[in-house]
Each structure stands twice: as C-alpha cells, then as structure tokens.
Amino acid sequence: MKKKADTVVYLYHNITFMETSEHDKRKCPSHLSTSECTKQLLPVKDALDILSGKWKLQIILSLTFGKKRFKQIQREIPGLTPKMLSKELKELEVNELASRHVYDTSPVTVEYELTSYGKTLRPLIGELHKWGSKHRKRIIAKSGR
C-alpha cells in the first residue's frame, strides 16, 4: 500500500487522486482543466475499475444470487484459482461491495455476501448490458454469422 509516488497517490481502493499543486497537464488530457479532469474522467475510471477484469463481474453476479462460501464461488466459476478469488474478494470488501462473515465452525466457514451498497451496481450493470446487447447484435450482423 504505497503512499506517494510522484504527483499521484494511489489508495488501496484503486482510486486515483491528483495532487492539486503540481499534477497540472501531465496526467490529464490537456483539453481539460485540472478540475474538469478530476470531475469528468476519474469517476468513470473508478467505476470501470470496479467492474473490469477477468473475474470481478462473474463474482459479483454469483453473489447476486445470495450468500456464498468461498469454495462455492470457486466451483461456480471455471478456471478461477483460489489466489485470484481471494484477491478479488478483498478488493470487493475494501470497496464495501461485499461483506465477509466468518463462522467459528471446524473447519472454518466463511460466507460472502453482496452489501446493499453493492446492489446499487445493478442499474449500472443494467446499462452496460443494454448497450452491450445492442452492440453485440450490430457487430454480429455485420460479420454475418
């Protein structure tokens, strides 16, 4: 968890802050002012970071169907290794999209669950789905298959 690296600070949430003093035009499209950049571009990237990647979406989708245990999720998503699952779940937790509950059984039971905040992603995913469907149809039509 780095603290500072040049003019940009990365937090563990994957959120990029601009150091107001000196970032200027260097990390930002030059047709935007500094504040415009922060306002326009970064939030979109934040949202994208949450959803993109090879597994995130599938994990989120899996959790929308209810509480799941670690192994359960892994079984549902072919090819997903424990290392990756662990990493992704941590990110979801840090961003408060999923919650982790440990039950003191033996061996341990851990359940993951989408938080109510996590469920606010629904409409966004809906929009992605809407546009994606149209796009898919359009492209398939073109390539004539």
Partner DNA sequence: CTGAATCCGCGGAGATACTG
Partner DNA sequence: CAGTATCTCCGCGGATTCAG
Of 61-69, 81-89, 105-113, the window that binds its own copies (rule: CB under 8 A) is 61-69
Decide if residue 47 touches its own copies (CB under 8 A).
yes
| Contact (CB, 8 A) for 61 and 69 | no
Q: Can you tell me which of 10, 46, 99, 113 binds its own copies, judged by CB under 8 A? A: 46
Decide if residue 76 touches its own copies (CB under 8 A).
yes
Q: Which helix (H) or strand (E) holds 114?
A: strand 109-114
Cα–Cα distance for residue pair 16/44, rounded to 1 Å: 11
- Please, which of residues 48-107 interact with DNA by CB under 7 A? 53-54, 69-72, 79-84, 86, 89, 100, 107
Long-range (24+ apart) CB contacts under 8 A made by 73-77 are 73/112
Nearer to DNA, 20 or 52 (CB): 52
Indicate which of DNA, its own copies, none lies near residue 26 (CB less than 5 to 8 Å, by partner kind).
Answer: its own copies
Nearer to its own copies, 4 or 107 (CB): 4
CB neighbours of 22 closer than 8 A, spacing ≥ 6?
7
